[in-house]
Amino acid sequence: MQRSLTYIAMMLCLTLSGCVTSGTYETKKLEAEALEQSLQDERGEYRKLLAENGELKSEVARLTRELADITADRNALSADKKGLEQSLRSTSDAKNQKIGELSQKLGELEAENRRLKEDVAQLQKLKELEVQKTSKTYEDLLEQMKSEISKGEVTISELKGKLTVNLVDSVLFDSGKAEVKPEGLIVLQKVIDILKHIKDKAIRIEGHTDNVQISGALARRYPTNWELSSARAINVARYLQQQGLDPALLAAVAYGEYKPVASNDTEEGRAENRRIEIVLVSKE
C-alpha cells in the first residue's frame, strides 16, 4: 500500500512537470525504491533499538532493585557491626573491671597468706618453746621424784606437750578416805615445787577409782565412786592452791571408775586404776 502511494505520487509529479524520458523515470524509480528500502531498514533498526531499550530499562530496574537490596543489607550489616562493636566494648570493659577486681582480691589473698605463714611460723616457734618447757618440767619432775618413781608410787609421762603425773591412791590417801594424808602431802609438795614456776599451762587434777562399789557406812558419805573421786581431786586441787598455785590454772575433774588404765579383774589392775593424775594441758 505504501509503495503504491509512492508510485502514484511520482506519476503525478511527472504529469505536472511534463513528459520525462524513460531513462530518467527508471532512475527516479530506482532512487525511490532505494529510499523506500532505506526507510524500511531504519524502521527495523528503530524497532530493534526500542526492544533493546526496553531490555535495558528492565535490566536497569533489576539492577536498581539489587542495589537497593545490597544497600539495605549493607546498612543492616553496618548496624550489626556497630552493635557488635558496642557489645565487645561493653564485654571488654566488664572483663577489665573483673580482672581488676580479681587482681585486687589476689593481692589481698597473697598478703593474707603471707600473714598466715608468719603467724604459723610464730605459733610453731611458740609450740617448740612450749615443748621445750614441758620437757624441762618433765626432766625436773623425774629428778625431783626419782625416789617415788623407783618405788612405783609415781609415774610421769610426756606426750606431744602434754605432761601427766600419775600418783597411786595409796601414796596420797588411806583406804576409803578423801583427805590427803601427811605422807601424801610430802609427795605433793615435790610436785608443787616444780609446778609453781609454770604460768602458761592449765593444771587439771583428775580423780580415778576402781569399779568396786562403795558399801557400808562409807556409802552414806560417798554413794558412788563419782563422789569419792571428786572429793579426792578437789582436796588435791585445794592443797595446790594453798601452796601458792594460781587457782585460775587449776581444775578438779572426777572420772570415777570410767577411765581405767588396767583391768579391774585383778587386785594389781584395780590398784593401778585407783589414782590421782595431775595433767598439764594448754590453757584454753
User: Cα 50 vs. chain centroid, distance in angstroms?
Assistant: 82
The pLDDT of residue 161 is 74
User: What pLDDT does residue 265 have?
Assistant: 96
CA 62 to chain centre: 64
Residue 253 has φ and ψ, to the nearest 5°, of -130, 135
DSSP state of 244: T
Contact between 227 and 209 under an 8 Å Cβ cutoff? The reply is no
Residues of the chain with pLDDT > 90: what percent?
A: 38
Domain boundaries, the chain: 145-282
Cell 609427795 found at: 187
218, 176 in Cβ contact below 8 A? yes
**Cβ contact 159:153 at 8 Å:** no
pLDDT over 60 at 19, yes or no:
no
Measured between alpha carbons, how far is 245 from 28 in angstroms, rounded to an integer?
160
Give the residue-averaged pLDDT of 195-223: 93
**Cβ count near 269 (within 10 Å):** 15
Mean pLDDT, range 156-174, rounded to an integer: 89
In one-letter notation, the amino acid at residue 252 is A
> What is the residue-averaged pLDDT of the chain?
86
- pLDDT reading at 226 higher than 80: yes
Residue 148 buriedness (CB in 10 A; 0-12 / 13-18 / 19+):
buried
What pLDDT score does 274 carry? 96
Q: Sorting pLDDT into bands at 50, 70 and 90, what band is 7?
A: low
Does residue 172 contact residue 276 with C-beta atoms inside 8 Å? yes
CA–CA separation, 104 vs 83, rounded Å? 31
Host H or E run for residue 277: strand 275-282
Domain 145-282 has CATH 3.30.1330.60: yes
This prediction's pTM: 0.57
**pLDDT band at residue 15, thresholds of 50, 70 and 90?**
low
What's the pLDDT score for residue 210? 96
pLDDT of 189 strictly over 90:
yes
pLDDT (tens digit per residue) in 57-104: 888 888 888 888 888 888 888 888 888 888 888 888 888 888 998 989
- At residue 91, the pLDDT reads 84
CA-based nearest residue to 166, from 183, 152, 182, 185: 152
pLDDT tens-digit series, residues 97-134: 889 989 898 899 989 888 888 888 887 776 666 666 77
The per-residue b/e assignment along 33-47, b for 16 or more CB within 10 angstroms, e otherwise, is: eeeeeeeeeeeeeee
User: In this predicted structure, what is the pLDDT of residue 20?
Assistant: 56
Strand partners, 203: 250, 280
Q: CA 198, CA 134: separation in Å to the nearest integer?
A: 9
- For residues 199 and 229, the answer to whether their CB atoms sit within 8 Å is no
Q: Which three cell numbers stand for residue 91?
A: 564485654
Which residues are CB-contacts of 161 (< 8 A; sequence separation ≥ 6)? Answer: 127, 130, 131, 134, 282
